[in-house]
Amino acid sequence: MSSKTDRMKELIAVLDEAGKAYYQESREIMSNYEYDALYDELVSLEQETGTVLAGSPTQKAGYEVLSELPKEVHQSPMLSLDKTKDVERLAEFLGSETGVLSWKLDGLTIVLTYQDGKLSKAVTRGNGEVGEVVTPNARTFKNLPLQIPFRGNLVVRGEAVIRYSDFKRMNEEIADMDAKYKNPRNLCAGSVRQLNSEITAKRNVNLMVFALIQAEENGTPVDFKNSRMEQFDWLKRQGFDVVEHFLVDSRNVAERVGWFSEAIAQNDIPSDGLVLLLEDIAYGESLGRTAKFPRNAIAFKWKDETAETKLEYIEWSPSRTGLINPVAVFDPVELEGTTVSRASVHNISIMEGLELGEGDVITVYKANMIIPQIAENLTRSGRLKIPEVCPVCGGKTEIRQTADVKCLYCTNPECQAKQIKAFELFVSRNALNMDGLSEATMEKFIAHGFIREFADIFHLEEHKDTIVAMDGFGEKSYQNMMDSIEAARKTTLERLLYGLGIPGIGVANAKVLSKAFQYDISKIRSASLEELTEIDGIGPVLAEGIADYFADPKKSQCLDRLLDEVEIQKEEAGEEQTLEGKTFVITGAVHHFANRDALKAYIEERGGKVTGSVTSKTDYLINNDADSTSSKNRKAKELGIPIISEDDFIGGTYADTSGE
């Protein structure tokens, strides 16, 4: 008994974590396939042992809501549905009754309240008892009626969804593959729970009604002739889009399920199954509920489409943390309408659990119709060898175990895969300013061996076929990235210096260095410590770091190769240095410049210096609100530092105030 109880505790912990991620954080850490298998195992153990542990997901319908949105208790609890994957079970559920079969939509459930014909409130499902009020966001849904003919009190439930076509369009507009949305359900949940309804409005959210909870006029319930079908028809007449549905009985339910299974391929609205609801309202409600499920409805979940294939090999993919992830590469198979040939195995423990070996016959599926995963290994040869050296740098590897999970790591601190932050700085906005190269994207390129040093970024076209085939990329994303890289070939010395990641060289010091050495990279590379320390703002420690960087033979060779790829633009004639020797602090909103950074650049171009805090060395605080009680204003007044407006600054009327 104890071993079964221990297993139940393990299952509860895993399922609870997955449920928390799904309901609270709008993300998925395991597929429906995996969740259902673990859930069914827990149900079986509870039935076998007669024990149900506190906190079991079989006894609760959701998770606590955590956000800044207002909370509200539902008038009637929103329960989960019991589920099955067997069509025969649907016929058994109906018996001699008729039912309404409809799509089980994959979005975010919303409870809508109408009073006197107008939408008054919209609340998310939340944990089934307490939801989040999202009324301003619901008012932006594309198809939701804000006013209806019915003038009584109406409460309905619907599913907020984002269509596949809209999801695809939005992803195509995003160049960075790692910024792309993972699936329509997560995008929809994040869109509906926004604090800014303007963002929701841009996401093309639709609302499909699937249940009528209450309809009363002057305290009298509307007569729907005891029929769910009549309710749906009435809701249509009110202007709602209702979920597609059909009347069925035990004789034709299997045939209608077959119709849905064929229609799902062309269905533009995300769905993860079907719902069967008893047509007879009174009878269904008389059945009551269990601790978690209502007895008048049942969900039918699609069996994940699996395909049998042969494992070719395991590709080991290093990351910036040193973790080396195993990725299964197998003979291409068709799943959910696309060809797949790779699947993450996640870690050594999973790989060993599957007993993988080259040539094994495996079954694969697409988690959430998107992410390829291995379902089973039919051969279980266990012949795979764990690499002793890192595939990127050749450094020694070691297996580390944390919380019963074994993972492989590269031990070489100089491994290129670990230098991801340096590459991230190099492509950042203030450096070479390359779009489409996020940290995660470069991590993948490094793991594939495409990038080993900065110059390699300019030769990614050599790997076009592989990049375009990566999940979430494609021709358009690839071309946008390459256009940005090509544009970055023409740059300035200060951008290049900042992008190299020399210790202590930020944007400001890069400008100082460039100017001090007449924008000549060769002069900076050969500068002595004495020459460097003579520059205002460059102390002995910083000077030594600069000199050491350029003296390093390996870094020097990498820089030579990088300089072959870029063209350093000659600086235009500089502005008159009218602000030289003056130090400014900028705070508050600006009106004459695009933003504070633009004003800062204006000052620096004219020889001035901009710092972030007011000190005794500050000459002027620029603030359009001189009466503000901000900490910078108070500090300036304490130190007797003039507070000037933009108009004062531009007009030069502050020049005589410095001595006040």
Report, as residue numbers or ranges, the catalytic residues.
Answer: 104
Element (H, E) at 43: helix 32-49
Question: Are the C-beta atoms of 34 and 41 separated by less than 8 Å?
Answer: no
Q: How far apart are CA 623 and CA 634, in angstroms?
A: 12
Tokens of 418: 């670990």
Q: Could you tell me which residues are beta bridge partners of residue 379?
A: none
Phi, psi for 260 (deg, rounded to 5)? -65, -40
Q: What torsion do the CA atoms of 45, 50, 54, 58 make, to the nearest 10 degrees?
A: 50
Distance of CA 195 to the CA centre of its chain: 17
What's the number of CA atoms in the CB half-sphere (13 Å) around residue 101? 26
Q: How far apart are CA 622 and CA 602, in angstroms?
A: 13
Q: How far apart are CA 299 and CA 128, in angstroms?
A: 17
E strand spans, 26-125: 71-73, 83-84, 99-105, 108-115, 118-124
Burial (CB count within 10 angstroms: exposed 0-12, middle 13-18, buried 19+), residue 374: buried
Task: For residue 278, count other CB atoms closer than 10 A to its CB.
Answer: 23
- Determine the length of the chain: 660
DSSP-assigned states of every residue in 317-370 = EE-TTSEEEEEEEEEEEEETTEEEEEEE--SHHHHHHHT--TT-EEEEEEETTT
Write the CB contacts of 293 (distance below 8 Å, at least 6 apart in sequence): 79, 80, 81, 82
Element (H, E) at 9: helix 2-24
Tokens of 546: 């600069």
Write the CB contacts of 387 (distance below 8 Å, at least 6 apart in sequence): 316, 324, 397, 408
Tokens of 103: 């799509």
Q: How far apart are CA 419 and CA 214, in angstroms?
A: 59
* Strand, helix or coil for residue 247: strand
* Strand, helix or coil for residue 441: helix
Q: Are strands 609-611 and 583-586 parallel, antiparallel or unpaired?
A: parallel
